[in-house]
Amino acid sequence: MFEVRDKDLAGRIGRLKTPHGTLETPVLFPVVNPRRQEVPLEEIKRAGFQGIITNAYLIKKYYGREAVEKGVHGILGFDDVVMTDSGAYQILQYGRIEADPREIVEYEEAIGADIAVILDIPTGAASTREEAEYTVEETLRRARLSAKIFRPGERIWVLPIQGGIYLDLVERSAKEASRIEGYGMYAIGSPTPLMEHYEFDTLIEIIYVAKRNLPPSKPVHLFGAGHPMLIPITVAMGIDSFDSASYILYARDERYLTRTGTLRLKNLEYFPCSCPVCSKHTPQELREAPREERVRLLATHNLYVISSILRETKQAIREGRLWELAEEISHAHPSLYRAFQAFASKGEWLELHDPRAKGVVRGIFLYDELSLGRPELVRHRRFMETHYQPPPAETLILLPGDPRDKPYTRSRIYQEARKRWGEKPHYVFYTPFYGTVPEELAETYPYSQFEAPLNPPENVVNKLWEDVKRYLERYREHYSEAIFVYTDKLGWSLKLKKRVARAKTGIMTRKVEVPASRGPAD
């Protein structure tokens, strides 16, 4: 039912086949109240959504047998994909509902949902560890029970992962869930309170633990995550689908979504958007509109913003620049930046999922120490430490790699060095972010396809020194001597010069001043 078409980091573009059509992921299902549609479903479709989510428990409560006869699509008047939640949100809000797991599963089948969630027990942000353990065990019990009831293959059944902020419980929940047959999709439960309190870094940790223990062949849903600024980073962590009522909840509160935040309608003089709503109305016109019309228009705009960021995220996956998109948006709020820090710390795991090559090769942007977590850099360091063997040579010459002058083997500093020492030595470039780059690799991807600052942060320089020192120590028996070349045109090169002078590498070093490849004086 799920086919991956393209990948970047742990994010992917996929095709999710359902009885009422095939969806392209990443996808978001707008939450629709079965009794009160404040935004017409046709308008939701025009905004770019081919699927919605509604509540099977509420449909059962208010429509009962009628929904069985007409089907959920007939009740809603919607002919595309319908996902049904089970009533677990009501359990989270009110403690209990008047329905049992078997009853809800049978009803979701009877009304013909395309994607259906079993009646789980959400953990909730305020749960104690004991309560969280109960939600994990009870949800797993219900999952096993439900798997014996539903008919596999007729629709996609969703198994929620519980545990909340208790990561060991999330791990147990995910591991046990992956062993239960019959489920075509998993979901990470109860993140809404974390998002309301801007604990985005905790959310990243929960996703990481869950994804690490779930089979990669099946899509993973994130409940209640609908703010545009969260979509790129959570997709980069491997989330395939979302649902949210944010579009209408924000509208009722007269809040206006943007890709990086939320604005109050009362404070707007201009709309920073060109969607159909913003193109035809001014903020003043919306403020003067009747309450019902104002909410509908704001909600419609919010839907277009969510749809736009989903398309932007997919394009970033196609182009291999999902990291850049997530990094760009992370600067919209300190809490989101903390989430990006948590994300960047997962570089080793992200590298396992990130494709080594794509059809279109793009350069990468490197900024600070967080860029060290990029899969391309993780892959380079792993190769240098586990697979690289230098060619035979008596002398090692370490040259600074100027990020402005690429490929390094065509730089002036390299040409000058070759004139001075000839072809016999082995030339290795030292450069921020990549560390050590042997001359034989310098013209391959991605050693020439990047942009980086000339004065990187101190942490990046420290990491560069660690890489240089490790290279010298690893191959101390390979070379008879090492020549360390520096330039005063690059500050980080001078810093390493001082460290080389103090280091005890076991290899003789000589420092030779060579003009920079390019600079203000040239």
Q: Are 128 and 159 in contact (CB under 8 A)?
A: no
The total of other beta-carbon atoms located within 10 Å of residue 354's CB is: 23
Q: What strands lie across the sheet with 481-486, from one edge to the other?
A: 435-438, 426-431, 395-400, 481-486, 509-513
If you count DSSP H runs as helices and E runs as strands, how many of each does the chain have, helices first? 21, 20
Catalytic status, residue 85: yes
DSSP classification of residue 267: G
Sort residue 391 into left (φ over 0), alpha (ψ -120 to 50) or beta: beta
DSSP output for 25-76? ESEEEEB-BTTB-SS-HHHHHHTT-SEEEEEHHHHHHHTTHHHHHHHHHHHH
Among residues 229, 264, 266, 263, the alpha carbon closest in space to that of 244 is found at 229
Q: Are 222 and 206 in contact (CB under 8 A)?
A: no
> Residue 277 and residue 273: Cα distance in Å, rounded?
9
**How far lies 182's CA from each of 118, 157, 179, 218, 258, in Å?**
12, 7, 10, 12, 39
Q: Is the peptide bond preceding residue 446 cis, with omega within 30 degrees of 0?
A: yes
Residue type, 177: A
**HSE-up of 209 (CA within 13 Å, CB side)?**
20
Which one is catalytic: 8, 85, 120, 243?
85
> Residue 309 and residue 232: Cα distance in Å, rounded?
8
DSSP lists the bridge partners of residue 395 as: 481
Catalytic residue ranges: 85
